[in-house]
């Protein structure tokens, strides 16, 4: 069976991406995404909550994480320092935990393409904004 990233296997065995959720995103979101992003972690889970954004950036780079955040500071670091790590910048404002889980689940294929597809290796930031959800 072919995975959405184009490799053979199932989504759970093939597309295992390491997502690092910023401290402004609830640990409940990470729990809610474990079936599709089993290696997702939240800053608090890794005892990184007292680090600066730059230190978190370096940790993500060293450990192979993509940062998921509402914070524009990581976008700025992406512009200054380049990639890795990649950044998924959530640009739709406050939302419920369940809605955020729904949005990220519905955009799993976009997230996977952004992280895994070699054609996008030079793109450092994926912006998910409200326009994606309006049809």
Q: Kindly report the average pLDDT of the chain as a whole number.
A: 86
- 81: in domain: yes
User: Number of folded domains in the chain?
Assistant: 1
Contact criterion met (CB below 8 Å) for 17 and 110: no
- 5: in domain: no
- 101: in domain: yes
pLDDT in tens, 18-77: 999 999 899 999 999 999 999 999 999 999 999 999 999 999 999 999 999 999 999 999
Specify the higher pLDDT residue, 25 or 6: 25
Distance CA 65, CA 22 (A): 11
- 125: in domain: yes
């Amino acid at each position: 069976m072919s995975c959405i990233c184009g490799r053979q296997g199932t989504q759970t065995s093939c597309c295992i991406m390491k997502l690092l959720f910023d401290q402004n995103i609830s640990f409940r979101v990470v729990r809610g995404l474990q079936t599709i992003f089993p290696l997702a972690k939240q800053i608090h889970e890794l005892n990184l909550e007292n680090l600066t954004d730059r230190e978190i950036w370096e940790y993500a780079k060293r450990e192979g994480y993509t940062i998921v955040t509402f914070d524009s500071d990581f976008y700025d670091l992406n512009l200054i320092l380049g990639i890795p790590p990649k950044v998924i910048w959530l640009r739709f404002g406050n939302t419920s935990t369940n809605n955020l889980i729904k949005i990220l689940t519905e955009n799993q294929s976009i997230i996977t393409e952004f992280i895994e597809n070699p054609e996008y290796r030079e793109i450092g930031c994926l912006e998910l904004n409200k326009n994606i959800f309006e049809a």
